[in-house]
Structure formats: structure tokens, C-alpha cells
Amino acid sequence: MSRLSRIRGPRPLYICAATIAGGAAYRFLQPESSNASLHPHDFAPYILVDKQPVSSTSAIFTLHDGFGVPEPDSVTEARKRGVWSVQAKQPQLQIARAYTPLPSISDEADEVDGHNLRFLIRKETGGEMSNYLHRLPEGSTIELRGPTVEYKLPQDVKEVIFLAGGTGIAPAMQIAQALQRSPGSTMHLLWANRRREECEGGLNDATVNTSGQQSSWWKGLLGLERTAAQKLPVGTPKTANKGLIVQEIEALKERSRAATGELNVQYYVDEEKSFIKPGDLARQMHTEPVDGAGSRLILISGPDGFIEYWAGKKLWVDGREVQGRLGGMLAKMDLKDWKVFKL
Ligand SMILES: Cc1cc2nc3c(=O)[nH]c(=O)nc-3n(C[C@H](O)[C@H](O)[C@H](O)COP(=O)(O)OP(=O)(O)OC[C@H]3O[C@@H](n4cnc5c(N)ncnc54)[C@H](O)[C@@H]3O)c2cc1C
């Protein structure tokens, strides 16, 4: 997801003084105007019930529907098949920003907390909305509107390679959850972060290591693939030293397995000098073409620079963000029947 581009471009979410006129602005400015839950046009109040730090700059925010009404059908539908977001409003500055709800932790949690929305939110240096949200104490009201469906998975999807940078992990987790409805599907998630603190304790699954070399079976046997930072002492409980998002990814892996699918994860950390390499993708694309156009997908979500590096810039046309041509590293690779989508 070109996560900052929509505000650097035409800034469609900004409502400045000059535009406070039409119906849209009226809706935007209305305080807690409806007593329904999430709605695409009207902001609805949610209560910040929990804020769990993930790292020094990011936290998981849990928001509870202010009216305690059941989740609307639009959200239930959005959860099922793809990537979706909601917008949060900063009431003093009258700005709104998009955030991507994390998938629910478990089926049981769905039943108990049916109308909770959870977000991984990074505090951007100098960022108006993200700093505002991080300053809010528990119990505060945050107004949200949505959902906006950003991407719908094709029905016949078989395999997904997901390149995620930073908070681009949230849409990747939505896709992992949605794929649980496609038995036999496989997802290869390659998650890059600047610092280890974002993915503490995250261990690689597949047969590549993060320096892009093929792993040797004897290294696997001896556990030598793990870097010092990744190694856990013998007897360490499963969740000890694991970041909150890493724990959630591991839970998603379990749920994928139970749904006869597969979720493989590779972690990359800039400060450990491990970077996603084209060869890491090529190794996941080795299998023979399968039937069905669009059934093998490469999805990319993260900061603008990350998306541009891998797939070229997204563009603004007539006030809408569009895919733009395929550029970057992927344009130089033999993609076979794999389709690319920039989130
Ligand atoms: C569909 C979608 C989903 C998203 N989901 C998430 C999510 O789940 N989690 C998440 O954390 N984020 C997400 N984002 C990003 C989020 O919407 C915000 O863009 C982000 O929180 C920063 O907003 P802000 O108001 O804090 O920063 P802003 O105030 O808009 O500033 C952003 C950055 O630009 C810099 N900047 C601001 N103005 C200028 C200027 N004039 N010149 C140069 N630099 C400038 C700031 O210093 C800051 O680093 C998503 C974005 C989209 C489009």
C-alpha cells in the first residue's frame, strides 16, 4: 500500500477551510453524527480500549464500536476477500488518514469482540495524525468511517507472494486471513523492516536465508540459519521474546494450516543487513504455470520508496490513484504467469 502517497499527492483526505462547503464536508465535520456503526460516508465514534506497544514507534490500537452495535455487513464482506481500510479523523486539524484493520486473532475472539477493530499504527516523525493517535489515552473517542475496499482477491487465487515493508504487514495479514477461504492456497510473505524491534523473534520458514543464498540442509539441521538476534535459548517458551505482530503472524500460520493452506514467512531487517533480493522471489516462482488467469499474484505494500523499488510508481489520474506501469525490479524479472498488484 502506497501508505503515504495519498497525502503527498492530491491530498484527497484533507478538508481545508476553503472547501468546507458541500455535503461531503458537512458529513466530515459532523460530530458523532450517526448512531450506526462504521459507515462509508459518516464518521462514527469508536472508543480506544487498548494500546499495546510493538516497538518504540509503533503500537496495536484496539477500538470498540462506541454504540456497541454489531459489525455492519460491509465490514464482514470486506474481511472475507481482500484488503480494506478505514479512515480516522483528527478533529482539531480536520484531517483524516487511512488505516488497515488487523485480522482478528481467533474465531473465539471474533465472537467475544465482534465489533472491535485493531490497527498497527506507526508514529511518523512529524506526522500529524499518527502522533495525535499515539498521544491519545485509553478511553478516548476516535471517529472512523469506512470500509474502503482497496483490493479484492480473485476467486481462483492459488498462490500469493506478498512483499511487505513496515506497516505494509497489515494488508499482508488481511490477505493471509482471506486466503483461509481458499483451501490448498499458498502464501509466501516477505516482510522487510528497518529495525529488528518491529519483528522481534521472527524466524524464517522457507528454504532461503535472508542474505539471498540457498540454505544448506546441514545448516538447517544444526539451526545455523538463524542470526544471533533470532536465536532463542533452548527451552524458551514459544511466545517469549516474540513481538506482538510476530506472534499474530504465527497464529495466522496455524490457522492457514488448519484451513489446508500454507503461509511461509521470511523476515528481513535493514539494520542486520538482510534485504529482500529478486532471487528470493524467483525461488518462490519456480513452479509450473497453473490454470486460471490471475491465480498467481505478487502483491506489494509499504512506503512509496519500497513500492517504487519493486514495481515502479503508482500514479494519480483524475484524482484517483492508479497502478501505473510495471517498473522497478519486477519489470526486469521473468514473471511467467504471475500478476503484480501495488497496494
Ligand atoms: C490505504 C492506506 C492504509 C494505511 N494503513 C496504515 C496502517 O495500517 N498503519 C499505519 O501506520 N499507516 C497506515 N497508512 C498510512 C497513514 O494513512 C498515514 O499516512 C500515516 O499514519 C502518516 O500520517 P500522519 O498524518 O501522521 O503524517 P503526515 O503529517 O501526513 O506526514 C507524513 C510524513 O510526511 C512528512 N511530511 C509532511 N508534510 C510534509 C511536507 N510538506 N514535505 C515533506 N515532508 C512532509 C512528515 O514529516 C511525515 O514523516 C495507510 C495509508 C493508506 C493510503
Tell me what pLDDT residue 227 has. 42
Q: Which residue, judged by its Cα, is nearest atom 4 of ligand 1? A: 99
Cα(289) to centroid(ligand 1), Å: 38
Q: Each residue of 245-274: pLDDT tens digit?
A: 999 999 999 999 999 899 999 999 999 999
Q: Each residue of 115-174: pLDDT tens digit?
A: 789 999 999 999 999 999 999 999 999 999 999 999 999 989 999 999 999 999 999 999
* pLDDT (mean) for 1-8: 52
Domains, the chain, with CATH or none: 5-150 (2.40.30.10), 153-342 (3.40.50.80)
Q: Which residue, judged by its Cα, is nearest atom 11 of ligand 1? A: 121
- Rounded-to-integer distance, Cα 68 and Cα 37, Å: 8
- Rounded-to-integer distance, Cα 117 and Cα 134, Å: 16
Question: Does residue 236 have a pLDDT over 50?
Answer: no
The C-alpha cell at 324 is 501505473
* pLDDT (mean) for 55-64: 97
Instruction: Judge contact between 163 and 301, C-beta under 8 A.
Output: yes
Phi/psi of residue 235, each to 5°? 85, 0
* pLDDT (mean) for 53-81: 90
- Rounded-to-integer distance, Cα 47 and Cα 65, Å: 6
Percent composition of the chain: helix, strand, coil (DSSP 3-state, to 5): 30, 30, 45
Quick one: pLDDT band at residue 340, thresholds 50, 70, 90? very high
Tell me what pLDDT residue 66 has. 82
For residue 147, whether the previous peptide bond is cis, meaning omega lies within 30 degrees of 0, is yes
Tell me what pLDDT residue 6 has. 52
Q: Please state the residue numbers annotated as binding site for FAD.
A: 97, 99, 120, 129-130
Tell me what pLDDT residue 243 has. 96
Tell me what pLDDT residue 113 has. 59
Instruction: Judge contact between 172 and 191, C-beta under 8 A.
Output: yes
Instruction: Judge contact between 168 and 3, C-beta under 8 A.
Output: yes
Question: Does residue 182 have a pLDDT over 60?
Answer: yes
Cα(133) to centroid(ligand 1), Å: 12
The C-alpha cell at 193 is 523492516
Q: Which residue, judged by its Cα, is nearest atom 50 of ligand 1? A: 3
Specify the ligand 1 atom closest to the Cα of 102.
8
Cα(127) to centroid(ligand 1), Å: 6
Question: Does residue 211 have a pLDDT over 50?
Answer: no
Amino acid at 135: R
Helices 244-258 and 169-179 cross at an angle (nearest 10°) of: 20
Q: Which of 2, 6, 7, 14 to mutate to test the pocket of ligand 1 (most atoms within 8 A of CB)?
A: 7
Quick one: pLDDT band at residue 112, thresholds 50, 70, 90? low
Specify the ligand 1 atom closest to the Cα of 132.
26
Specify the ligand 1 atom closest to the Cα of 5.
53
Q: Which residue, judged by its Cα, is nearest atom 32 of ligand 1? A: 127
CB atoms within 10 A of CB 70: 11
Cα(7) to centroid(ligand 1), Å: 7
Q: Each residue of 5-46: pLDDT tens digit?
A: 454 433 334 433 333 344 444 344 444 444 568 899 999 999
User: Which range (57-71, 201-215, 317-331) has the least confidence?
Assistant: 201-215
Specify the ligand 1 atom closest to the Cα of 2.
53
Q: Which of 1, 3, 304 to mutate to test the pocket of ligand 1 (most atoms within 8 A of CB)?
A: 3
Quick one: pLDDT band at residue 114, thresholds 50, 70, 90? low
Question: Does residue 178 have a pLDDT over 50?
Answer: yes
Tell me what pLDDT residue 318 has. 93
Q: Which residues line ligand 1 (CB under 6 A)?
A: 1, 3-4, 6-7, 85, 97-100, 119-122, 124-131, 150, 167, 170
Q: Each residue of 279-324: pLDDT tens digit?
A: 999 998 876 666 655 589 999 999 999 999 999 999 999 999 999 9
Cα(21) to centroid(ligand 1), Å: 25
- Rounded-to-integer distance, Cα 136 and Cα 141, Å: 9
Quick one: pLDDT band at residue 53, thresholds 50, 70, 90? very high
